[in-house]
Amino acid sequence: MILVCGEALIDLFIGAPAPTGFPAEAVAGGSPFNVAIGIGRLGRLAAFLSTLSDDVFGTFLAEKLAESGVSAAYLQRCPNYTTLSVVATNASGQPRYSFYAPNSADRALAPEMLPARLPPDVNAIAAGSYALGVEPIASAIEALLRREAGSRVISLDPNVRPRVVGDLKAYRDRFEGLLAYADIVKASDEDIELLYATRDLASAARAWLALGPKLVIITRGEKGPLAAFGDRIVERPAPRIDVVDTVGAGDTFHAGLLSWLDANDLLTPGAMAGLTEGQVTEALDFAAAAAAIVCTRRGANPPSWAEVEQFMASRA
């Protein structure tokens, strides 16, 4: 089972302004939430560790997790309101976010609320996004990763949200500190540019690799993913598609990567240390295909395993 930790929220998609206001649609969202949903849709066992509000949105989020087969064993409810993320997409489908999240439910998890122990069937922990930079959940996740490092695969995604985490230097320093516990890091080229003001992605990946992870992957949109492991760099193309929007693409890539590794018995600390170029290539291609499918749909709507296989077969 893959345990995903972090925020769950409501994405409020707004359309072009009309005379009476903005048309809007409220959908389930949050980067770690999307990863958990993506893993569940791909048929792998997943659980979500977080706090959800008692409000109508929190109930809606819990229902969406259940629909995708994600275990609620590590979920807790609280009276804080659910975060609202207002999403407007530009002409190329790129989202722009505004967050309304004072004292919200998605950051309420405190270290003392963590499970005392995890069962042996939890073979991996995935965490990321602004939950790594807001309190008290950031301290809770750090405590969990420190406790479990070495016994389970740990995968991190910074998914940088400057408007929420605020001080980017403080967030970068904290994230770099977490890399000592990580086996996998997945980031986007935008994350690298925000954190380091550089477009030299290979050097950034190697720098993170030197801090502890066994595999560092940077997604580059239509250019495809880049992976650093050992002394090697692997680059793979992205499938050519007609993009509707890119909401949830990075999260689906992360879910696809972990799911493929899990399905191939590679999601263990020992296996991660001995990944071959062929295994990394196959994992990247599967994850990129899953992400491409999401980009052909509106919002974060991850595919099933069969849909990914069918998509890849159609491109072979």
In a domain, 23, yes or no: no
**118 found inside a domain:** yes
pLDDT, averaged across the chain: 94
By CB neighbour count within 10 A (0-12 exposed, 13-18 middle, 19+ buried), where does 307 fall? middle
- Per-residue pLDDT tens for 144-157? 999 999 999 999 99
Q: Tens digits of per-residue pLDDT, 45-75?
A: 999 999 999 999 999 999 999 999 999 999 9
In a domain, residue 69? The reply is yes
Mean of pLDDT values over 163-172: 91
Alpha helices in 87-226 (DSSP H): 137-148, 162-165, 168-178, 189-196, 201-209
Please report the pLDDT score of residue 246 as a whole number. Answer: 86
The per-residue DSSP string of 10-42 comes to EEEEE-S-BTTB--EEEEEE-HHHHHHHHHHHT
Round to whole Å and give the CA distance between 94 and 87.
10
Residue 215 dihedral angles phi and psi, to the nearest 5°:
-145, 125
Burial of 265 (C-beta count, 10 Å sphere; 0-12/13-18/19+)? exposed
* Rounded Cα gap, residues 104 and 21, in angstroms: 26
Amino acid at 217: I
Residue 190 has pLDDT above 70, yes or no: yes
* pLDDT range class, residue 91, cuts 50, 70, 90: low
Q: Does 156 reside within a domain?
A: yes
**Which position has the higher pLDDT, 306 or 163?**
306
Q: Are 247 and 299 in contact (CB under 8 A)?
A: yes
Q: What is the phi-psi region of residue 306: left when phi exceeds 0, alpha when psi lies from -120 to 50, beta otherwise?
A: alpha
Q: Which two tokens stand for residue 189?
A: 């080229």
- What is the chain's alpha carbon radius of gyration, rounded to the nearest angstrom? 18
- DSSP summary character for residue 71: B
105 lies in some domain:
no
191, pLDDT greater than 70 = yes
Q: How far apart are CA 139 and CA 159, in angstroms?
A: 18
How does residue 276 score in pLDDT terms, banded at 50, 70 and 90? very high
Environment class of 46 (CB within 10 Å of its CB; exposed 0-12, middle 13-18, buried 19+)? buried
User: Number of structural domains, the chain?
Assistant: 1
How would DSSP label each residue in 232-275?
Answer: EEEE-PPPP---S--TTHHHHHHHHHHHHHHHTT--SHHHHTT-
Per-residue pLDDT at 92: 67
3-state secondary structure of 178: helix
Half-sphere exposure of 311 (CA within 13 A, CB side): 22
Please tell me the chain's helix, strand, coil percentages from 3-state DSSP, rounded to the nearest 5: 40, 25, 35
CA 24 and chain centroid, separation: 24
Give residue 185's pLDDT: 98
Say what the pLDDT of residue 15 is.
83
Domain that holds residue 256: 2-7+31-82+110-314
CA of 58: how far to CAs of 54, 64, 68, 126, 232, in Å? 6, 10, 16, 21, 43
Amino acid letter for position 249: A
Instruction: Write the CATH number for 57.
Output: 3.40.1190.20
| 269 located within any domain | yes
Phi and psi, residue 87, nearest 5°: -120, 125
Residues 220-241 have pLDDT tens digits of: 999 999 999 999 999 999 999 9
3-class DSSP assignment, residue 297: coil
pLDDT score recorded for residue 17: 82
Q: Is residue 64 situated within a structural domain? A: yes
Tokens of 78: 């609280």
Residue 96 in any domain: the answer is no
The model's pTM: 0.94
